[in-house]
Amino acid sequence: MSNYHIKNLEEYYQVYRKSVRDPESFWAEIAEEHFVWRKPWDKVLEWNFSTPEVKWFEGAQLNITENCIDRHLATKGDKTAIIFEPNDPSEKAQHISYKELHEKVCAFANVLKDQGVKKGDRVCIYLPMIPELATSILACARIGAIHTVVFAGFSATALSTRINDCECNMVITSDGSFRGTKTIDLKGIVDEALESTPTIKSVLVVKRTKADINMKSVRDHWLQPLLDKADKDCPIEIMDAEDPLFILYTSGSTGKPKGMMHTTAGYMVYTAYTFKNVFQYKNGDVYWCTADIGWVTGHSYIVYGPLANGATTILFEGVPNHPDFGRFWDIIEKHKVNQFYTAPTAIRALAKEKLDYVENHDLSSLKVLGTVGEPINEEAWHWYNDNVGKKMSPIVDTWWQTETGGIMISPIPYTTPTIPTYATLPLPGVQPALMDEHGKEIKGNQVDGRLCIKFPWPGMARTIWGDHKRYKETYFSTYENKYFTGDGALRDTVGYYRITGRVDDVIIVSGHNLGTAPIEDAINEHPAVAESAIVGFPHDVKGNALYGYVILKETGESRLHENLRKEINQIITEHIGPIAKLDKIQFTVGLPKTRSGKIMRRILRKIAHKETDNLGDISTLLNPEVVQEIIDNAL
Ligand code: PRX
């Protein structure tokens, strides 16, 4: 039996029990056998959830890129590490071997050094899904710079907020990006963002679209000429286990985005371990995760987890509907993909199209199908299982978060019997707990509650960059001595978990976490708006869509409302990005409020869900009369 690679259910239970009985030796054995260390650790785990402080493998030294690249060179130098599949299917796919990846990352790392980037500096990466996105991340990790990738669909304001929050001194971007038939002027967005980012000293620009862009002298440099001149070898920076590896921003229910900080050793061990087991990756397999590297899924399961296992990972630049709705299936057939990992929202969108798109492709290479990011509904699960997997490929419904670094609850394919909509069992090392509203743990099965984790795991984020107090308040203060996920879950009779959704004001739209507060703040910037409140409502493709209730300063003529709706969505696009646009905007004279002035979102949610029969007691509201008015005008 190996702790590292679980092959059947009996082994799973044995390994799981061991991981709970003796977590330290469990993780130490995995870390020792499967990774390269420059110095062993003094202590496997140090933790205290009340401070909170968590340290894994303290005293150890390593470099994650040595583990993801260098150590594979002797045996897998010519093996493909990354397959780059461009947006345009007529452009040739690139196969980057481990040897080539090593050269590219080293050259990039040397360019960063030449530009003055040092260990501990923050580098912002704002790139489309092109190979340089992976190589820039790895180049930062090689020299100990902390990368912070901002999804290239975020607006200039969102970009500058993130750059300023962690005080980056460099941005890596491109002239533009291709998405389906569209070309996006990324450099223009960066230029606008950098008008208010005093810490940025230089910008490296990848040439991708060949758009005619503005290059600011001294600050901006084309990347390629610098790479051409750079040495193709670069020694690793020796990192301490708990040195920061990256910061990745995620929305909170209130306030500005949270810069989740992940550290080196624990994250590496955890993503590699979970990748191996959840996808049952075997040498020679081709693995594809459709996420963008701008999200945690891409960090952990396009770049670090697969490369730490010496896998072949696909990096896809495009979108599922270009040139047609068969693109995913086309790529699976073309590259003979064995493990395919995508989001329920993509499955729902593709399930709406003609089945011919799927059936015209040979998908027989598939062995494992994965989903992530939001609950998968039964219909989508069955469509995926029947039409893509032909009932032969187990579906792994993987539950986890930006904060957890890696997959926490998931079936192990060919091991854990699956049930649609259930993420099933915790992975080894993960100790979930369900809590009631009084802060007590709910034991036993066939129960539901709020999902917490009661013991540290190596991949967990260690803090919110620059705001440890908020980290403590958000995750460790709701329940004593436990990490609170913000999700609700139920545990069935056999101990399987089903995630029921967020229990806070975060709304998951197309698999993207959106906090309501920043969207409301953006709307309130419109000169005609007095106040607003956002809730989610069910959407057949996006899972949830956004419903905005907006109070105008002056009740204008309703013929002007259509324009106002457009302007409000425009403001949201400028402040956050198009992913946060509202599907419905209802203008109203008031919002239901408690006597202490808090908006009663529960009522607004019910109205948006068209569930107005049972609104509960509204007599204690400050303004109960407004409720009927909102119901009467609901969209
Ligand atoms: O609500 C859960 C939902 O996505 C949230 C985490 O979002 P984010 O940090 O953006 O990371 C997404 C990719 C890991 C969770 O709190 N979520 C994620 N996976 C699932 C899920 N909800 C149900 N089922 C899942 N498999």
One-letter amino acid at 4 equals Y
Check if 402 has its Cβ closer than 6 Å to any atom of ligand 1. Answer: yes
**CB contact set of 327 (below 8 Å; sequence gap of 6+):** 89, 318, 319, 320, 321
CB 617 within 8 A of CB 579: no
Check if 502 has its Cβ closer than 6 Å to any atom of ligand 1. Answer: yes
Check if 487 has its Cβ closer than 6 Å to any atom of ligand 1. Answer: yes
Q: What are phi and psi of 369, to 5 degrees?
A: -115, 135
Cα 533 to ligand 1 centre (Å) = 23
Across residues 516-532, what is the average pLDDT? 91
Peptide bond before 323: cis, by omega within 30 degrees of 0? Answer: yes
Q: How far apart are CA 344 and CA 451, in angstroms?
A: 21
Cα 511 to ligand 1 centre (Å) = 7
Residue identifier of the C-alpha nearest atom 21 of ligand 1: 374
Q: How far apart are CA 614 and CA 606, in angstroms?
A: 9
Residue identifier of the C-alpha nearest atom 22 of ligand 1: 374
Q: How far apart are CA 629 and CA 622, in angstroms?
A: 15
Helices (H) and strands (E) in the chain, counts: 21, 31
Model confidence over 388-411: pLDDT tens digits?
999 999 999 999 999 999 999 999
pTM value is: 0.94
- Give residue 556's pLDDT: 66
Q: Which atom of ligand 1 is nearest to the CA of 513?
A: 10
- 517 has pLDDT over 70: yes
Q: Which atom of ligand 1 is nearest to the CA of 501?
A: 1
Q: Which atom of ligand 1 is nearest to the CA of 410?
A: 26
Cα 512 to ligand 1 centre (Å) = 8
CATH (one of 3.40.50.12780, 3.10.110.10, 3.40.50.2300, 3.60.20.10) for 9-319+399-430+442-489: 3.40.50.12780
Check if 599 has its Cβ closer than 6 Å to any atom of ligand 1. Answer: no
Q: How far apart are CA 73 and CA 66, in angstroms?
A: 10
Q: Which atom of ligand 1 is nearest to the CA of 486?
A: 16
Check if 499 has its Cβ closer than 6 Å to any atom of ligand 1. Answer: yes
Model confidence over 409-459: pLDDT tens digits?
999 999 999 999 999 999 999 999 999 989 999 999 999 999 999 999 999
Q: How far apart are CA 14 and CA 463, in angstroms?
A: 32
Residue identifier of the C-alpha nearest atom 10 of ligand 1: 513
- Give residue 198's pLDDT: 98
Check if 396 has its Cβ closer than 6 Å to any atom of ligand 1. Answer: no
Cα 501 to ligand 1 centre (Å) = 8
Provide the pLDDT confidence category of residue 199 given band limits of 50, 70 and 90.
very high
- Give residue 163's pLDDT: 98
Handedness of CA 609, 615, 620, 622 (dihedral sign): positive
* Three-class DSSP category at 24: helix
- Give residue 1's pLDDT: 61
Q: How far apart are CA 395 and CA 411, in angstroms?
A: 8
Q: Which CATH superfamily is domain 510-632 in?
A: ANL, C-terminal domain (3.30.300.30)
- Give residue 245's pLDDT: 99
Q: Which atom of ligand 1 is nearest to the CA of 400?
A: 14
- Give residue 202's pLDDT: 98
Model confidence over 93-130: pLDDT tens digits?
999 999 999 999 999 999 999 999 999 999 999 999 99
Check if 544 has its Cβ closer than 6 Å to any atom of ligand 1. Answer: no
Check if 344 has its Cβ closer than 6 Å to any atom of ligand 1. Answer: no
Q: Please state the separation of Cα 86 from the chain's center in Å.
A: 22
List C-alpha distances in Å: 124 to 204, 467, 574.
Answer: 10, 19, 19
Check if 97 has its Cβ closer than 6 Å to any atom of ligand 1. Answer: no
One-letter amino acid at 528 equals A
Cα 496 to ligand 1 centre (Å) = 17
Check if 368 has its Cβ closer than 6 Å to any atom of ligand 1. Answer: no
Cα 190 to ligand 1 centre (Å) = 29
Cα 370 to ligand 1 centre (Å) = 13
CB 309 within 8 A of CB 272: yes
Check if 296 has its Cβ closer than 6 Å to any atom of ligand 1. Answer: yes
Q: What are phi and psi of 423, to 5 degrees?
A: -75, -5
Cα 255 to ligand 1 centre (Å) = 20
Model confidence over 535-589: pLDDT tens digits?
999 999 999 999 999 999 887 677 788 899 999 999 999 999 999 999 999 999 9
Q: Where are the domains of the chain?
A: 9-319+399-430+442-489, 510-632
Residue identifier of the C-alpha nearest atom 15 of ligand 1: 401
- Given ligand 1 and candidates 487, 506, 514, which is best to mutate, with the most ligand atoms within 8 Å of its CB? 487
> What does pLDDT average to over the chain?
96
Check if 191 has its Cβ closer than 6 Å to any atom of ligand 1. Answer: no
Across residues 236-249, what is the average pLDDT? 98
Cα 203 to ligand 1 centre (Å) = 33
Check if 253 has its Cβ closer than 6 Å to any atom of ligand 1. Answer: no
Q: How many CB atoms lie within 10 A of CB 196?
A: 12
Model confidence over 297-307: pLDDT tens digits?
999 999 999 99
CB 362 within 8 A of CB 334: no
- Give residue 597's pLDDT: 77
Q: Which atom of ligand 1 is nearest to the CA of 398?
A: 26
Model confidence over 102-112: pLDDT tens digits?
999 999 999 99
Check if 278 has its Cβ closer than 6 Å to any atom of ligand 1. Answer: no
Q: How much of the chain, in percent, has pLDDT values that exceed 70?
A: 99
Check if 373 has its Cβ closer than 6 Å to any atom of ligand 1. Answer: yes
Cα 400 to ligand 1 centre (Å) = 5
- 46 has pLDDT over 90: yes
Residue identifier of the C-alpha nearest atom 14 of ligand 1: 401
Model confidence over 62-85: pLDDT tens digits?
999 999 999 999 999 999 999 999
Question: Is 510-632 in the same CATH topology as 9-319+399-430+442-489?
Answer: no
Check if 423 has its Cβ closer than 6 Å to any atom of ligand 1. Answer: yes
